[in-house]
Chain A
Amino acid sequence: MNSSLEPSRLTPADMMRASLIGLRTRRLRSLLSGLGIVIGIAAMVGVLGISESSKSDLLAQLDQLGTNMLRIEAGSGIGIGSGELPEESTSMVSRIGPVEQVASVSDTSASVYRNDLVPEGRTGGITVKAVDAGLLVTLQGQMQSGAFLDDAASEYPVAVLGSVAAERLGVTSGSDGTIVWLGDEWFAIVGIMETLDLSPDLDRAALVSYAAADTFLDHDGIPSTIYVRTDPDNIDAVRSVLPATVNPENPDEVEVTRPSDALEAREAADQAFTNLLLGLGGVALLVGGVGIANVMVISVLERRGEIGLRRALGATRRHISIQFLGESLLLATVGGVGGVALGAAVTAAYAWSRGWGVLIPTVAIIGGIVAAIAIGVIAGLYPAMRAARVSPTEALRTL
């Protein structure tokens, strides 16, 4: 009997079992408090996942479209010029060394209708533009159906529709001989373009050749926009000489932009939005952590009898605190894993709906679970300490 005392011990498996008791016996409450963490982590993983998927899609888009395209338009200048690009602009630009492709677009005053019975003015926002045959190549565009305008057809009343224009006119195919009423003439539709990411204005236009515009629409042929594809290494140099090349008299009236900049700016704006949403996710996570702490404090109060019993069975204060800390940790970790799964599912669903590739950053997955564990530890510390401080005699008097 008079032997020295062996210390109280709790095996890791029993520690886990003890920590699970509260979660098993108070399932609804555990579920609801864990939901805070699920929502917080899911928000963060979802925001990061959607942002990364969008960014990767954009990079792929930029890769495909190239960043070496410049767009020249008549700018507002200081009011001394004509507000138009000179007629010979296109040929002038094509003479610049590093310029690889040039194509111009000229706005016409004509309108296009599905047929001649549609009242005038109900254009559906569709414009008619005269374009060079090389426009599609310069824009690296694709045809949805049919073919783009070529020199052979330039004398005939044929047109190509942008993707939006085709939809609005109810034209579904560019190769079945559909005709539209364009500038008081019947024009045959020979092709429908895919969406052009770098020049969305062309999506809402019916395109005809310069020759056809001249013949059937009595159009003067002065370009309003010129698209230039240059050697990627010399893009800045070309950009700097373009205004003076296009309009030597009034270079200020020439506006040169790089359409890919707009996509990059959109990405920058998305990033700011992402940060805002991440912040909101962080707030949700914090609230989730407070929820767990709250539930754990209530649990300690409710389970004083159990604490007293465990102390009577030989638990040390440390065993009690580890049990409650473990419970909080388990709750938060399960919430974190659930949150990562939910965030990944939301990302996948959103990316799928937008036609993007799904990309969930590893840092979001690992970070989400680590954040949940950290929240679990922080939220559980105070209740665990409080549980450990409960006097066994007080605890056993509870009921």
Chain B
Amino acid sequence: MTSKSPQSSASTLPAYPVDSVLSLSRVTKTYPGTPPVHAIRDINLDIRSGELVGVIGPSGSGKSTLLHIIGTLDRATSGTVSVAGHDVDLLTDRELSSLRSRHIGFVFQQFFLLAGETALDNVGDGLLYTGMALEERRNLAELALAQVGLEHRMSHEATKLSGGERQRVAIARALIGSPDIILADEPTGNLDSKSGEDVVRLIEELNSQGSTIVVITHDRDIAARFPRRVSLLDGRVVDDTGQTNGAVSR
């Protein structure tokens, strides 16, 4: 990547494999400073539709930076990022928002549920910026809540639910629009072991139903349960159990 000036996406659809949801090629993120901090370096990653990937690494290994770049919340300093067939580098800030609203679902460690709103409306907010009417969103939210086993909590205020339930509401919000990829950042980080186990099972179940999910975690036991694991250390991929083309950067 030589230029960072975004252009319209309409005419720039690169030829990635049809089932590739996410593709990173030689992606580096450097934060300016003296000396500059290389949060991630030269990362190659290709995630196909239907995969469940655990990204593991110790604190400071670059997991969150990787998630932000995959989630288009931040731009890479160099390299190419493609999400749902769109070359992220060529998209404007507004187009990135559009990409996130329809193609990417997020689950955060801190849940980030809106206070004063019911679980149903919090889940419906997953499609808030698609322009879909509230009633339609609520109908889909009911289905999503049922999918995560919270149909009995629809009218409860989301922020007053238990930690495990809150995270399940957040997962329902991420999957409501059937996004191409769901990114979960330490989804069990704020939960007790029982709730954490429930959430991991839910993630596995959703994956078995076809969702593509990337889970970022520092917990090796959790990651060990996922079919594919990408290990990060000092901003580099040191192991990728699902890598098929030998492009792992070491």
Contacts and interface: CB of A to CB of B under 8 A. Distances in A.
Contacts of A393: 68, 73-74
B79 interface: no
A8 B94 contact: yes
B102 interface: yes
Contacts of A313: 100-101, 106, 125-126, 128-129
B164 interface: no
B242 interface: no
A6 B9 contact: no
B86 interface: yes
Interface string B20-38: 0100000000000000000
Interface in A3-38: 3-11, 13-14, 17-18, 21, 24-25
Interface string B96-119: 011111101010101010111100
Interface in B63-100: 64, 68, 71, 73-74, 84-86, 91, 93-95, 97-100
B130 A9 contact: yes
A-B residue pairs, 6 tightest by C-beta: A314-B101, A9-B131, A314-B129, A2-B85, A309-B112, A5-B98
Contacts of A308: 73, 112
Interface of B: 9-10, 13, 18, 21, 64, 68, 71, 73-74, 84-86, 91, 93-95, 97-102, 104, 106, 108, 110, 112, 114-117, 125-126, 128-131, 133-134, 180
B10 A314 contact: no
A5 B9 contact: yes
Contacts of A318: 94
Interface string A110-153: 00000000000000000000000000000000000000000000
Interface centre among A17, A21, A316, by most chain B C-beta atoms within 10 angstroms, is A316
Contacts of B116: 21, 24-25
B131 A314 contact: no
A12 to B, nearest CB: 11
Given A5-B9, A9-B129, A21-B116, A316 B94 contact: yes
Given A10-B131, A11-B133, A314 B97 contact: yes
A392 interface: yes
Contact of A21 (B71, B101, B114, B126): B114
A306 interface: yes
Given A1-B180, A2-B85, A392-B73, A8 B115 contact: no
Contact of A314 (B86, B98, B114): B98
A21 B110 CA distance: 19
A317 interface: yes
B128 A14 contact: yes
A305 interface: yes
B73 A4 contact: no
A5 B95 CA distance: 7
Main secondary structure of the interface of A (DSSP, over half): helix
A25 B115 contact: yes
A396 interface: yes
15 contacts: A2-B86, A5-B86, A5-B98, A5-B102, A9-B131, A18-B128, A21-B116, A308-B112, A310-B129, A314-B101, A314-B129, A314-B130, A317-B93, A392-B74, A393-B68
B110 A305 contact: yes
A330 to B, nearest CB: 15
Given A13-B134, A305-B112, A6 B73 contact: no
Contacts of A310: 128-129
Given A25-B116, A314-B100, A8 B71 contact: no
A70 B112 CA distance: 80
Contacts of B102: 5-6, 314
B106 to A, nearest CB: 5
A310 B73 CA distance: 11
Contact of B114 (A2, A10, A306): A306
A270 B73 CA distance: 62
A399 interface: yes
Contact of A312 (B93, B95, B106): B106
Contacts of B108: 309, 312, 396
A239 B74 CA distance: 87
Given A2-B13, A13-B134, A7 B110 contact: no
A7 B93 CA distance: 11
A1 B71 CA distance: 16
A25 B68 CA distance: 29
Contacts of B130: 6, 8-9, 314
A317 to B, nearest CB: 7
B73 A11 contact: no
> Which of B10, B91, B98 lies at the interface centre, i.e. has the most chain A CB atoms within 10 A of its CB?
B98
Interface in A342-399: 391-393, 396-397, 399
A309 B18 CA distance: 29
A319 interface: yes
A312 B131 contact: no
Given A1-B85, A8-B98, A21-B117, 18 more contacts: A4-B9, A6-B98, A6-B130, A8-B101, A10-B131, A11-B131, A11-B134, A24-B116, A25-B115, A312-B71, A312-B106, A312-B108, A314-B102, A314-B128, A315-B128, A315-B129, A392-B74, A393-B73
